[in-house]
Structure 1
Amino acid sequence: MRKIALIVMVVLIGTTMSMAQNRGGQRDFNPEDMAKRQTELYKTELNLDDAQAEKIGKVLLASNKEMMAMRQEMQNEEDRTKIREKMTELRANREKEIKEILNEEQFEKYQKLMEERRSRRGGGPGSS
């Protein structure tokens, strides 16, 4: 009986540790993969046509690459204020570009979707 209990404990601990190390595989900060996932989400949620989806995908890819570079820069920077300001500006520019691609109804849905994301993360207007 003790052997079975020990085996079960070892399996549970091993599973927990492996999931904690890779967060269950949920986080992938590859800009290309992120842009693809985001584009697919927006295509479904916002009813994008193929042309809109392609344009949105390009905007997201460029934005994700810049954001990734800024995050890496921020790791080496003691004063992160300037980089955060750049990130806020980048998000604002991305939203402006997206607004030009979407129609009014789609953009309203987009804004609601972003607000839901922010509320789930517990972030403010700058977190998206």
Structure 2
Amino acid sequence: MKKLGLLMMIVIFGATLSLAQNRDGQRNFDPEEMAKRQTKELTELLSLDKAQAQKVHELNLESGKKMSKMREEMQGGGDREAMREKMTEMRKKQNAEMKKILSEDQYTKYEKYLEERRARRGGSGGGQR
């Protein structure tokens, strides 16, 4: 009987710990941190110069803030399909702006990077993370 009680306590503790970690992960949508991380990754991948990196950071930050606002609206019971459409449109605009910042060669690499990310995520999503 003691073994069963101990086992139940371990299972409950593990489940609680797991849920706490998931909540922390959900809160990690800080637009500034995401923009820094994305810009750093793209700077290395695409060999961006300082001016390009600054413009990419500004674009990532602006997009991140808009995405964060949409997520907050969704938590309030918003329409998922409408949000998906808005995010898709926002990603299209972001990619159009990115095309203005990058050279043709860099943009080709950027598109390949996005395709690889979509494949890793199972084909869902688009644009920036």
TM-score, with structure 1 as normaliser? 0.78
Alignment CA distance shift 1:108-1:16 (3 Å): farther
Does the 8 A contact of 2:39 with 2:56 survive in 1? yes
Amino acid at match of 1:34: M
Query: Is 1:43 paired with 2:43?
Result: yes
**One-letter identity of the residue aligned with 2:74:** M
Unaligned runs of 5+ in 2: 1-5
Q: Which runs of 5+ in 1 are unaligned?
A: 1-5
- Alpha-carbon distance in structure 2 between the residues aligned to 1:49 and 1:22: 37
Q: CA deviation at 1:26?
A: 6.3
Q: CA deviation at 1:97?
A: 0.5
After superposition, the CA RMSD in angstroms is 2.7
What residue identity is the alignment partner of 1:94? Q
- % identical aligned pairs: 46
CA gap of 1:26–1:106, structure 2 versus 1, over 3 A, is: farther
Report deviation, 1:38: 0.2
- Larger relative contact order (Cα-Cα within 8 Å, sequence gap ≥ 6): 2
Match of 2:84 in 1: 84
Cα deviation 1:11-60 (Å, max 9, x = unaligned): xx96886466325x766210000000000000000000010000000000
Q: Distance in 2 between matches of 1:37 and 1:114?
A: 15
Aligned partners of 2:95 and 2:127 also within 8 Å: no
State the distance in 2 between where 1:64 and 1:98 align: 14
Shift of the 127–18 alpha-carbon distance from structure 1 to 2, 3 Å rule, reads farther
Change in 2 beyond 3 A, CA 1:53/1:93: same
* In structure 2, C-alpha distance between the alignment counterparts of 1:127 and 1:57, rounded to whole Å: 14
Q: Is the 8 A contact 2:59 2:94 kept in 1?
A: yes
Report how many aligned residue pairs link the two structures: 121
Please name the residue that 2:3 is paired with: none
1:3 matched residue in structure 2 = none
